[in-house]
Amino acid sequence: MNDSQPKLVCRNVWKLFGSGARDFLRAREPASVTGDDLVKAGLVGAVRNVNLEVRDGEIFVIMGLSGSGKSTLVRCLSRLVEPTSGEILFNGENLLAADEARMIEIRRHQMGMVFQQFALLPHLTVLANVAFPLEVQGVKRQKREQLARRMVELVGLSGKEGVFPRELSGGQQQRVGIARSLAVEPELWFLDEPFSALDPLIRREMQDEFIRLQSVLNKTIVFITHDFDEAIRLADRIAIMKDGAVVQIGTPEDIVLAPATDYVAEFTRNVPKAKVIKAQSIMKPVQGAQPKTSVPARATVSEAVALFDGSNECVGVIDEAGNMLGQLLRTDVVDVLMRG
């Protein structure tokens, strides 16, 4: 993940529903507007003064309860919903200053989107569904089918190219939706509760697949969910929303171990600490011989527990290239579990 230049910047973004919303904000200092002010003006604050940055190559999860504004915010970021005010920068370009033709070009060539509803075209095969956005772009048939086959293979559906959506399971249909959104090779990938319609077992499998895909593709991702377990499993950072406003942004560890508000504390109260504390956060320097067993630096303590059998007092912690960064001690793991 690149910390130097944010891919997407959201500054003072508002989305108000109701008559006179723009004039209402122009007449006030937006940061001082309260919920009571909105009620008195007959306005609904779907998104309220949101500021955030999404870094190049990170998975940025936006979460909150139903009605918190997370889906509206994502639609504002892609201008599928028009913000009332604010500034949204994508690669330094102000999207709110772009005309409709420019936005269509950006969405077709630089953004990918996956929603809870699979929205596959029932009369098209898997291959044709995946190739469809390339056809819209005017890509020649041979090239678009070649790209589509690569995406189908990437999501593990080789051999299903000629199958129709009705012949696929829910998880397979969602894989087709993911492949279709990746076919344009987007720089920025929006996923709005993509797995929430799936049963728990398939949902877990799709999360595993998503993690695998990200390790291969290294996309910049904005992922929406209301499931905290899903968020802490996938996220580099999390933004928690309440009543249209972002109340805290941080790593899963930040959110759980240092909640910024009572709402966040209550939201995360039942999350076991071992599920969010990463191996790299509590590792110690390697002393003596290197451990024979290892876990990725991003693995959580709960994922590492199974490696501590009767003979293992420590487990190595490695980076993505397999380099040894440190070691995880049994005593430290037990300490986290006892505090959990």
How far is the C-alpha of 60 from the C-alpha of 40, rounded, in Å? 34
Q: What pTM, to 2 d.p., does this model score?
A: 0.85
Could you give the percent of the chain with pLDDT greater than 70? 98
Q: Is 301's pLDDT higher than 60?
A: yes
**Is residue 12 within a helix (H) or strand (E), and if so which, with residue range?**
strand 2-17
In a domain, 122, yes or no: no
Residue 90 has which token pair? 């994508």
Question: In terms of domains, do 280 and 262 share one?
Answer: no
In a domain, 153, yes or no: no
Question: In terms of domains, do 62 and 204 share one?
Answer: yes
Question: In terms of domains, do 226 and 96 share one?
Answer: yes
pLDDT category at 70 given cuts 50, 70, 90 is very high
How far is the C-alpha of 306 from the C-alpha of 112, rounded, in Å? 37
Q: Is 104's pLDDT higher than 80?
A: yes
The pLDDT of 56-81, averaged and rounded, is: 93
Give the number of domains in the chain: 2
In a domain, 248, yes or no: yes
Question: In terms of domains, do 190 and 334 share one?
Answer: no
Q: Which of 240-249, 267-276, 281-290, 326-335 has the highest average model confidence (pLDDT)?
A: 240-249
Strand, helix or coil for residue 289: coil
Per-residue pLDDT reduced to its tens digit, 173-189 = 888 988 898 888 889 99
In a domain, 134, yes or no: no
> Of 271, 291, 315, which residue is a domain's last?
271
Residue 116 has which token pair? 């809870």
Q: What is residue 306's predicted lDDT score, i.e. its pLDDT?
A: 85
Per-residue pLDDT reduced to its tens digit, 25-60 = 988 888 888 889 999 999 999 999 999 999 999 999
Alpha-carbon Rg of the chain, whole angstroms? 22
The pLDDT of 139-167, averaged and rounded, is: 91
Question: In terms of domains, do 29 and 96 share one?
Answer: yes
Q: What is residue 87's predicted lDDT score, i.e. its pLDDT?
A: 95
pLDDT category at 3 given cuts 50, 70, 90 is low
Any idea which of 107-116, 159-168, 259-268 has the lowest mean pLDDT? 107-116
Q: Is 21's pLDDT higher than 90?
A: yes
In a domain, 133, yes or no: no
The pLDDT of 86-98, averaged and rounded, is: 94
In the sheet that 314-318 helps form, which strands lie side by side, from edge to edge?
294-296, 314-318, 324-329
pLDDT category at 239 given cuts 50, 70, 90 is very high
Per-residue pLDDT reduced to its tens digit, 195-230 = 887 788 888 888 888 888 888 888 999 999 988 888
pLDDT category at 340 given cuts 50, 70, 90 is low
Average of per-residue pLDDT values in the chain: 89
Residue 289 has which token pair? 């011989």
Q: Is 322's pLDDT higher than 90?
A: no
Q: What is residue 268's predicted lDDT score, i.e. its pLDDT?
A: 87
Question: In terms of domains, do 6 and 85 share one?
Answer: yes
Question: In terms of domains, do 293 and 259 share one?
Answer: no
Parent domain of 321: 275-339
Q: b/e per residue, 153-187, with b = 16+ CB within 10 A?
A: ebbebeebbeebbeebeebbbbbbbbbbbbbbebb
In a domain, 78, yes or no: yes
- Tell me which of 269 and 3 has the higher pLDDT: 269
How far is the C-alpha of 218 from the C-alpha of 225, rounded, in Å? 20
